Structure 1
Amino acid sequence: MPTGAEIREALHAGRKVFSTAAIAPSTYWPQFIKETGIDFVFIDTEHVPLSRETVAWMCRTYDALGVPPVVRIPCNDLYEASKVLDGGARGVIGPYLETVEQARAIVGAARWRPLKGRRLEEALDDASVLEPELRAYLEKRNADTLCIANIESVAAIENLAEIARTPGLDAVLIGPHDLSCSLGIPEQYDHARFDEAVQTIFRVAREAGIGAGIHYWESVEREIEWAQAGGNLIMHSSDITMMKQTLANDMARLRKALS
């Protein structure tokens, strides 16, 4: 399994990185997830009702197995990001991020934790103001921490060139459902305007030297097409979605065969 630092380097270099979302907090799950060969696991606390303690247990378990856990926090806040990192996360995903200020909030936690307040603002403005010993300590301490921004709206696309240049940001990840709603074409993922938006996001992100991807679950073929169009963060489906799809297909076959 790659380290967080190796995943970060791959994202910036344009090499493919593979992940999936894990919702189930079962102690059986992490070993099975590891055996799929993914590079890191995505744990969501924006839409999924997981407590801070449960998320910490999940993070520690995945990390112990060598699968870096990356947590989507409920809002773009330095302290929310710091909480999951303190709990064992190896990275954060900022949800519905639309501004540079929001990007700086999650970057501050990912790159310069545990600095806060004025010292953090100074480091975000110009890292050279930090004492050499402190800067070396913080860079080493946070080298494995991934920092990813969810791009899910028209406003985010309008500000993306500036967001993508935020020092310390590793990748952008499209949230397709929210993006399709923001575009006025809810869940129409084959719509030309949606495809244009995806490819624009990929292009702008890659021009800025950060990774780009989309969290998708409806079609592997579509994921391959988008990856070939420039996406290098392949966030495929989730445990609950794949279980539902497989079980539904198997039950349909059984009912047909045994009716």
Structure 2
Amino acid sequence: MSDPTLRQMCQNHDPKFGHFVVEFATPGIGHILKNAGCDFVLFDCEHSGFGFETVKSAIRYLEAARLPAIVRVPSREYQHIARAMDMGAEGIMLPMVSTPDEARTILDAVKYVPEGKRGVALGIAHDAYRGGDVLAKLAAQNQRSVVFAQIETKEGVANADALAAMDGIDCLWVGHFDLSCSLGEPGQFQSKTFLDAIDTVAAACRKHGKQLGRLVPDVATGVEYRAKGFEFLCYAGDVWTYQAAVKAGIDGLRAGCADVAPAAPEKPAKKKKKGK
């Protein structure tokens, strides 16, 4: 059985588990995460500092492992969206999507005609450098591309139903920290205001049959949000996962070795003097 694409993942409401890459774009990252059980990778360009040369290489690493990549671009500008798509991203994630007009501009940059206005470039990375019938290739790319709109503002919550109703928007992705700030309660993820906002976004996705996603810092949060109807659950991030694992090991070594008295070194044997 072949590995599912992001488009295929969006056709069911089973949970999909991934990992957030913000630091380690090494050649082995795709196979490392694939063999850790990931279904997808969220590759961040909003806060990481990764440039497009790195994105292009990283997508090849992930393709080699048959692991779909969602690229979060740094803005809603055409140059950021279309370039990531041209480099082969299966999914594109856009920060701070608050209105249908903003979403329409995004879709125009992602989709080829007749669904959008993206500039045509064929026979490059996104279609594996292959030739073929132009109309068929445009249609195939429109079908392949998956759009994740981040709900990170109070206005985005208010427009969640309209955004979820749009053809071409496949998933509403809650940006929990920015959303909490927009709601006036930074980091208060158990407040009634925040949880009501989550319920509003979840209801919009259920109504229109769209996917729902977010980053989860730990397993307990992931299970909690799965119960709320979230399908795309992106576990932690590479920096913090690596740091936590190393810290646990170092702390364990430090504590375990604190009361261990090392064996006393053996005294070297005295050399016999010559002639005796």
Name the TM-score class by shorter chain: 0.7 to 0.9
Number of positions where the alignment pairs a residue of Structure 1 with one of Structure 2: 243
- Partner Cα separation in structure 1 for residue 252 and residue 202 of structure 2: 39
What amino acid does structure 2 have at the position aligned with 1:83? R
**Structure 1 residue 200, shift from structure 2 partner:** 2.0
- TM-score norm. by structure 2 comes to 0.81
**Kept in 2: contact 1:18–1:233 (CA 8 A):** yes
Shift of 1:117: 5.0
Q: How does 1:1-259 map to 2 (within 5 A)?
A: 1-10=3-12, 14-23=13-22, 24-112=24-112, 117=117, 137-217=137-217, 219-259=218-258
> Whole-Å Cα distance in 2 between the matches of residues 76 and 118 of structure 1?
13
How much has 1:113 moved relative to structure 2?
6.5
1:83-114 Cα distance to aligned partner (Å, 9 max, x none): 01111211100111111122122223333269
Ranges of 4+ aligned residues in structure 1 off by more than 3 Å: 113-120, 133-137
Q: Can you list the C-alpha shifts for 1:151-177, whole angstroms capped at 9, x where unaligned? A: 111110011111111111110111111
5+ residue gaps, structure 1, are 121-132
Question: Bigger relative contact order, structure 1 or 2, given CA contacts below 8 A and separation 6+?
Answer: 1
Change (3 A) 1:242 1:80: same
AA at the equivalent of 1:237: A
Cα offset, 1:134, TM superposition = 7.3
In the alignment, structure 2 segments of 5+ residues that lack a partner are: 121-132, 259-276
Q: Contact 1:202–1:213 at 8 Å: present in 2 too? A: no
CA distance in 1, matches of 2:199, 2:116: 36
Structure 1 distance, partners of 2:56, 2:184, is: 37
CA-based RMSD: 2.4
Q: If the length of structure 1 is used for normalisation, what is the TM-score? A: 0.86
- Counterpart for residue 123 of structure 1: none
Residue by residue over 1:46-104, the C-alpha shift from the partner in whole angstroms, topping out at 9 and shown as x without a partner, is 11101111111001221122111110111123332110111121110011111112212
Q: Which moved more, 1:92-101 or 1:71-80?
A: 71-80
CA distance in 2, matches of 1:225, 1:180: 18
Per the alignment, residue 272 of structure 2 pairs with none
Alignment identity in percent? 26
Asked if the contact 1:77/1:102 (under 8 Å) is kept, the reply is no
- Structure 1's 224 and 113: CA in aligned 2 closer, same or farther, altered over 3 A? farther
AA matched with 1:221: A
